[in-house]
């Protein structure tokens, strides 16, 4: 009998280890949640596309470049003007930490608003104060991010839209088409640990337009990108999200407090030395001093804290020995803050922080 029970245990163990999970509203963020995440980006070494039933994704080698803490609060904790607009349509607010700047405007008190229910988790709008003027933007049609219950094999879609007048600027409007495919389940491993997860791929087409009164014409912005999300039970937000715009995939994952990355690991650093100067730098120019033991093809890019490329600096051959390159940033209209200079050589990647002030 003991031998039979042991055999049954061996049969059941893989099922427990790779059990298929389901996601519902209890797995979404709640008022009072604070969740730390790390930001990284892919240089072509991470397989985030492959998926399937009982799949294992190994992202354990991700290197955190920046970190942030996502905070969620009740609608009643937001400014009164926002409460009046979103009180009946939303039950969750999230302060926006990394919002897009608007030339000539001071942006503050920025929030995203959500509605979590037993049937879906959706974004209902956003809001920000421009030069002290609060501007709530309640969507005409909500962006349904997830439909519940979420199970392997589910496919759904939504079309959201918005339109709003911006005092002193003009008019903003747009739409977003989201198609969700729950295309995998299994085990995800990140630097934070290993977790049972459900994988969701979202194909997104987004169109935004800004009409500027002073110029008398509009500026269209068209985007086509894919979001890959790995969701687990009781984590509030995805364990990992990869956003692929076809140029520079960015990665965000739940993490613990870490010492942030300032260069590559020692075993990768044997024959590469990189220095940036001046650093911190102004918005006009900076130089890179690079030493290579071997002649190599090199691609040098400047990226923001989300991993997005803001400037292609160099693409060509660097001869063995020292290389000094001076790069002009004038005319780029880059915001002050933290950036990363990424140098990709033959089989090596080097990253250095650059602070613009």
Same domain, 245 and 272: no
Same domain, 243 and 326: no
Per-residue pLDDT tens listing for the chain (357 residues): 444 454 444 444 444 456 799 999 999 999 999 999 998 877 677 899 999 999 999 999 888 887 889 999 999 999 999 999 999 999 999 998 766 555 566 788 999 999 999 999 999 999 999 888 899 999 999 999 999 999 999 999 999 999 988 877 788 899 999 999 999 999 999 999 999 999 999 999 999 988 877 777 778 889 999 999 999 999 999 999 999 988 778 899 999 987 664 443 333 333 346 788 888 887 678 888 888 878 888 888 888 766 678 888 888 888 877 777 888 887 777 877 778 888 888 767 777 888 887
Tell me if 190 is assigned to some domain: yes
Same domain, 290 and 185: no
Same domain, 239 and 338: no
- The gap between the terminal CA atoms of the chain, to the nearest Å, is 73
Where among 254, 280, 297 does a domain terminate? 254
Class of residue 27 by CB neighbours under 10 A (exposed 0-12, middle 13-18, buried 19+):
buried
Residue in 219, 212, 221, 133 with CA at minimum distance from that of residue 169: 212
Contact between 82 and 70 (Cβ < 8 Å): no
Tell me if 347 is assigned to some domain: yes
Same domain, 200 and 317: no
Same domain, 115 and 198: yes
Tell me if 47 is assigned to some domain: yes
Same domain, 119 and 77: yes
Tell me if 32 is assigned to some domain: yes
Same domain, 338 and 297: yes
Class of residue 264 by CB neighbours under 10 A (exposed 0-12, middle 13-18, buried 19+):
middle
Supply the pLDDT for residue 265: 39
Tell me if 51 is assigned to some domain: yes
Give, for 178, the enclosing helix (H) or strand (E): strand 170-190
DSSP 10: H
Same domain, 281 and 200: no
Give, for 86, the enclosing helix (H) or strand (E): helix 80-86
Domain count, the chain: 2
What is residue 146's three-state secondary structure?
A: strand
Tell me if 80 is assigned to some domain: yes
Supply the pLDDT for residue 260: 62
Tell me if 260 is assigned to some domain: no
Residue 292: give the domain boundaries: 266-356
- Integer Cα distance of 108 and 101 in angstroms: 10
Same domain, 112 and 240: yes
Tell me if 33 is assigned to some domain: yes
Where among 254, 288, 321 does a domain terminate? 254
| CATH code of residue 326 | 2.60.40.1930
Same domain, 233 and 270: no
DSSP 101: P
């Amino acid at each position: 009998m003991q031998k039979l029970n042991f055999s049954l245990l061996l049969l059941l163990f893989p099922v427990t280890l790779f059990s298929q999970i389901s996601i519902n509203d209890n797995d979404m963020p709640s008022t009072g949640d604070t969740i730390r995440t790390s930001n990284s980006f892919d240089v072509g070494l991470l397989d985030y596309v492959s998926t399937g039933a009982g799949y294992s994704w190994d992202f354990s080698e991700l290197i955190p470049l920046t970190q942030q803490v996502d905070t969620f609060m009740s609608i009643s904790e937001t400014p009164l003007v926002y409460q009046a607009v979103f009180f009946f349509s939303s039950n969750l607010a999230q302060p926006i930490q990394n919002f897009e700047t608007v030339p000539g405007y001071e942006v503050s008190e920025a929030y995203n608003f959500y509605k979590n229910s037993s049937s879906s988790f959706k974004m209902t709008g956003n809001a920000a104060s421009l030069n002290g003027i609060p501007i709530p933007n309640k969507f005409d049609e909500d962006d349904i991010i997830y439909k519940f219950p979420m199970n392997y094999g589910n496919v759904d879609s939504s079309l959201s839209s918005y339109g709003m007048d911006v005092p002193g600027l003009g008019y903003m409007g747009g739409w977003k088409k989201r198609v969700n495919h729950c295309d995998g389940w299994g085990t995800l491993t990140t630097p934070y640990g290993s977790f049972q997860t459900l994988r969701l791929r979202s194909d997104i087409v987004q169109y935004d337009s800004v009409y500027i009164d002073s110029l008398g014409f509009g500026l269209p912005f068209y985007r086509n990108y894919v979001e890959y999300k790995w969701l687990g039970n009781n984590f509030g937000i995805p364990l990992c999200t990869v956003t692929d715009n076809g140029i520079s995939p960015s990665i965000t994952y739940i993490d613990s407090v870490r010492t942030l990355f300032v260069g590559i690991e020692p075993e990768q650093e044997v024959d590469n030395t990189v220095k940036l100067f001046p650093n911190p730098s102004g918005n006009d120019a900076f130089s890179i001093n690079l030493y290579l033991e071997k002649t190599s093809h090199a691609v040098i890019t400047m990226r923001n804290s989300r991993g997005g490329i803001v400037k292609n600096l160099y693409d060509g051959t660097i001869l063995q020995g020292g290389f000094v390159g001076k790069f002009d940033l004038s005319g780029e209209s880059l915001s002050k803050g933290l950036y990363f200079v990424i140098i990709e050589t033959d089989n090596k990647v080097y990253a250095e922080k650059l602070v613009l002030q």
